[in-house]
């Protein structure tokens, strides 16, 4: 059976998703439809007073909808960053404190001078000096720079190196040789021009060239043959006015002085305040290999321009310095921390000029990217957060937090907080094998928040990770590992469910073999599958997993 979803407003943004990009989030509209269908079919149309557990809570979409339908809810996720996000989204925040804190931050960034390193010398500058430019003697502030880097030849061009690249097997090496050859008679290229020429000259294998161009260029950089420098191709600027930033103009032909200033600052500046610079690697007890989704970046700081890293470190320093004298202040501070982590992807080099924040589910940074002014992003995010809170009230989420208890817990230990036979409904949306590396993608946020990602407990399939068991045996986190843990998880969930209770699983894997094996895990735990149906994702939905997933499989089981 397929349930066709009826959407009141198919193009509308998910209120939650407009605050923070969460990979794999079930759009609220879909979550609501699934829960309503469940309530109608199994609970006489209402979840009022029922106890609902979501053991793979993520950003909380499913449990919030259950709470909206009147259920008493238990949210749990193994990842403390996700518990932070979900709880901060629904916790009540006193608007006047939030606005006061925001104003404190704004004033500090406007008036204070901060220590930064300029060519390794400690100097004091104001936040806005980082983005200030002069046009005809007048001062403006950049809010967006489109970067089209310049690729330079390192050392002398060598025929031998070219032949060596050509002789290696694999398309990336062949393409790298083609790119390297372009530098035979010139020492530098604008990235966009280089790409355009290579694509034109290799139009017979266009799609492979497009797909591998970045990889080939990165390879040449790794081999020390080429290097890249930040270079703006368009600059968008504005003025600080009243209590906000006013967008003014765009310059495509960047005047030399402006360009020189921006490039110069980018090359010389370094933060003096703390910023996370963790390696993109799993912990030693998981084998210590590089992240599956690191995309050739060794450290977190490589995801940012130096200017934005400096700006982020200043803003984070000020957020952390806000007072926390009572619960209300803590909630307001947490909300600002949430706004901060929510802008990290857009403030990074992952921001592609075609838009969409964090459009690829990895730490992929395109060569031509957009550098946004950190405060500009923060100001917009703050407004989005206030709007979101307003929308929450209008859409009936206001008192919802009273009905949800939050836990950071491995599903395999759920019985530590949920008694046996206690729960009426379990709504479970586990990871789908290797498709989204939740822990790894949350690492960017976790590092700033100073929180550890519990990779060793994450139920996921990931060829780069291996767990060391108590008897010293090393077990790769492959599909069988994932299935074994899911089977154990379903056994635990079976224990905490009431007799006659319902387990509703949202699953999606295009592989038939995986689907069959996954269903076997559910049955092995003692559940009886009463129905499965397909639930469509909204077609034009901008946010969430819908870009990749057209429909979910909903599996309803009874104990
Ligand atoms: C598909 S996502 C859930 C998304 C969520 N429904 C939403 O809409 O935001 C799967 C979640 O399972 C969590 N997870 C993975 N291993 C876990 C474990 N051992 N115990 C509890 N949660 C786990 C991940 O951290 C991730 O948040």
Structural Rg of the chain based on CA atoms = 26
Task: Determine, yes or no, domain membership for 386.
Answer: no
Q: 75 with 51: CB under 8 angstroms?
A: no
Which alpha helices (DSSP H) does 6-79 contain, by range?
28-42, 61-68
For ligand 1, whether the C-beta of 459 sits within 6 Å is: yes
Q: What angle do the packed helices 374-394 and 95-111 form, to 10 degrees? A: 170
Task: Determine, yes or no, domain membership for 347.
Answer: no
For ligand 1, whether the C-beta of 22 sits within 6 Å is: yes
Q: pLDDT tens, position by position, for the chain (559 residues)?
A: 555 555 444 444 566 778 898 888 888 888 888 999 899 999 988 999 999 999 999 999 999 999 989 999 999 999 999 999 999 998 889 999 999 999 999 999 999 999 999 999 999 999 999 999 998 899 999 999 999 999 999 999 999 999 999 999 999 999 999 999 999 999 999 999 999 999 999 999 999 999 999 999 999 999 999 999 999 999 999 998 877 788 888 888 899 999 999 999 999 999 999 999 999 999 988 889 999 988 889 999 999 999 999 999 999 999 999 999 999 999 999 999 999 999 999 999 999 887 666 778 889 899 999 999 999 999 999 999 999 888 887 776 677 888 999 999 999 999 999 999 999 999 999 999 998 999 999 999 999 999 999 999 999 999 899 888 778 788 899 999 999 999 999 999 999 999 999 999 998 877 889 999 999 999 999 999 999 888 776 655 544 444 455 677 899 999 9
What is the DSSP code string of 279-329?
A: BSB--GGGT-PBPTT-TT--BGGGGS-HHHHHHHHHHHHHHHHS---SHHH
Tokens linked to 385: 């957060």
Residue 226 CA to ligand 1 center (angstroms) comes to 41
Instruction: Tell me which residue of 500, 496, 454, 524 sits closest to 55, measured CA to CA.
Output: 496
Instruction: Tell me which residue of 374, 295, 344, 358 sits closest to 447, measured CA to CA.
Output: 344
Closest ligand 1 atom to 410 CA = 20
Residue 431 CA to ligand 1 center (angstroms) comes to 6
For ligand 1, whether the C-beta of 195 sits within 6 Å is: no
Q: How far apart are CA 502 and CA 498, in angstroms?
A: 8
CB atoms closer than 10 angstroms to residue 514 = 17
Mutate which of 58, 63, 465 to test ligand 1's pocket (most atoms within 8 Å of Cβ)? Answer: 58
Task: Determine, yes or no, domain membership for 502.
Answer: no
CA dihedral 496, 499, 505, 511 (to 10 degrees): 100
For ligand 1, whether the C-beta of 59 sits within 6 Å is: yes
For ligand 1, whether the C-beta of 407 sits within 6 Å is: no
Q: How far apart are CA 552 and CA 260, in angstroms?
A: 51
Task: Determine, yes or no, domain membership for 201.
Answer: yes
**Nearest C-alpha to atom 11 of ligand 1 is from which residue?**
56
Residue 58 CA to ligand 1 center (angstroms) comes to 5
Mutate which of 90, 286, 431 to test ligand 1's pocket (most atoms within 8 Å of Cβ)? Answer: 431
Give CA separation, 218 vs 28, 190, 207, 301, in Å.
39, 15, 18, 17
Task: Determine, yes or no, domain membership for 363.
Answer: no
Domain that holds residue 183: 150-229
Residue 57 CA to ligand 1 center (angstroms) comes to 5
Mutate which of 438, 491, 507, 553 to test ligand 1's pocket (most atoms within 8 Å of Cβ)? Answer: 438
Task: Determine, yes or no, domain membership for 218.
Answer: yes
Q: How far apart are CA 38 and CA 504, in angstroms?
A: 8
Q: How far apart are CA 199 and CA 192, in angstroms?
A: 11
CA dihedral 289, 291, 294, 296 (to 10 degrees): 10
Closest ligand 1 atom to 436 CA = 1
Q: What does the buried/exposed string (b/e) look like for 402-411 if buried means 16 or more CB atoms within 10 Å of the residue's CB? A: ebbbbbbbbb
Closest ligand 1 atom to 544 CA = 8
Q: What is the 3-state secondary structure (H, E, C) of 115-180?
A: EEEECCEEEEEEHHHHHEEEECCEEEEEEEEEECCEEEECCCCCHHHHHHHHHCCCHHHHHHHHHH
Q: How far apart are CA 234 and CA 369, in angstroms?
A: 11
Closest ligand 1 atom to 459 CA = 16
Tokens linked to 109: 């960034």
Tokens linked to 207: 């799609």
Closest ligand 1 atom to 86 CA = 9
Judge if pTM exceeds 0.85: yes
Task: Determine, yes or no, domain membership for 426.
Answer: no
Residue 6 CA to ligand 1 center (angstroms) comes to 27
Indicate the helix (H) or strand (E) that contains 490. helix 479-496
Task: Determine, yes or no, domain membership for 251.
Answer: no
Domain count, the chain: 1
């Amino acid at each position: 059976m397929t349930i066709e979803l009826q959407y009141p407003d198919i193009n509308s943004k998910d209120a939650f998703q407009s605050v923070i990009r969460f990979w794999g989030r079930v759009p609220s509209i879909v979550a609501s439809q699934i829960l309503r269908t469940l309530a109608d079919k199994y609970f006489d149309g209402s979840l009022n007073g029922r106890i609902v557990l979501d053991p793979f809570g993520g950003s909380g979409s499913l449990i919030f909808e259950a709470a909206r339908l009147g259920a008493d809810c238990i949210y749990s996720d193994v990842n403390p960053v996700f518990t932070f996000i979900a709880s901060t989204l629904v916790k009540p925040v006193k608007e006047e404190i939030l606005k006061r804190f925001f104003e404190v931050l704004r004033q500090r960034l406007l008036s204070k001078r901060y220590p930064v390193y300029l060519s390794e010398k400690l100097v004091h500058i104001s936040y806005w000096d980082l983005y200030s430019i002069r046009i005809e003697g007048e001062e403006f502030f950049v809010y967006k720079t489109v970067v089209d880097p310049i690729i330079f030849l390192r050392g002398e061009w060598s025929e031998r190196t070219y032949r060596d690249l050509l002789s290696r097997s694999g398309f990336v090496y062949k393409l790298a040789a083609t790119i390297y050859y372009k530098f035979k008679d010139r020492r530098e290229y604008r990235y966009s021009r280089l790409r355009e020429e290579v694509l034109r000259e290799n139009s017979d294998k266009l799609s492979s060239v497009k797909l591998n161009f970045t990889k080939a260029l990165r390879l040449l950089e790794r081999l020390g043959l080429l290097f890249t420098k930040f270079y703006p191709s368009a600059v968008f600027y504005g003025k600080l006015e009243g209590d906000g930033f006013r967008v003014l103009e765009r310059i495509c032909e960047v005047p030399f002085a402006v360009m020189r200033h921006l490039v110069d600052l980018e090359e010389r500046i370094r933060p003096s305040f703390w910023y996370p610079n963790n390696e993109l690697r799993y912990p030693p007890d998981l084998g210590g290999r590089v992240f599956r989704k690191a995309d050739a970046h060794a450290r977190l700081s490589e995801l940012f321009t130096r200017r934005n890293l400096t700006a982020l470190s200043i803003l984070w320093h000020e957020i952390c310095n806000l007072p926390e004298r009572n619960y209300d202040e803590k909630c307001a501070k947490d909300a600002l921390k949430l706004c901060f982590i929510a802008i990290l992807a857009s403030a990074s080099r992952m921001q592609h000029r075609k838009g969409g924040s964090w459009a690829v589910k990895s730490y992929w940074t395109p060569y031509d990217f957009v550098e946004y002014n950190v405060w500009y992003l923060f100001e917009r995010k703050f407004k989005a957060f206030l709007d979101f809170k307003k929308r929450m009230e209008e859409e009936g989420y206001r008192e919802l937090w009273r009905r949800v208890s939050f836990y950071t817990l491995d599903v395999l230990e759920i019985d530590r907080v949920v008694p046996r036979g206690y729960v009426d409904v379990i709504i479970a949306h586990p990871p789908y094998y290797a498709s989204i590396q939740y822990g790894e993608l949350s690492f960017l946020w976790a590092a700033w928040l100073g929180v550890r990602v519990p990779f060793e407990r994450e139920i996921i399939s990931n060829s780069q990770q291996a767990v060391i068991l108590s008897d010293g045996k090393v077990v790769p986190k492959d599909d069988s590992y994932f299935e074994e843990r899911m089977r154990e998880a379903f056994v635990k969930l079976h224990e905490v469910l009431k007799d006659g209770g319902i387990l509703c699983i949202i699953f999606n894997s295009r592989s038939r073999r995986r689907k069959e094996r996954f269903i076997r895990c559910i049955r092995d735990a003692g559940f009886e599958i009463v129905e499965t149906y397909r639930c469509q994702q909204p077609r034009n939905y901008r946010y969430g997993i819908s870009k990749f997933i057209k429909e979910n499989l909903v599996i309803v089981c009874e104990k």
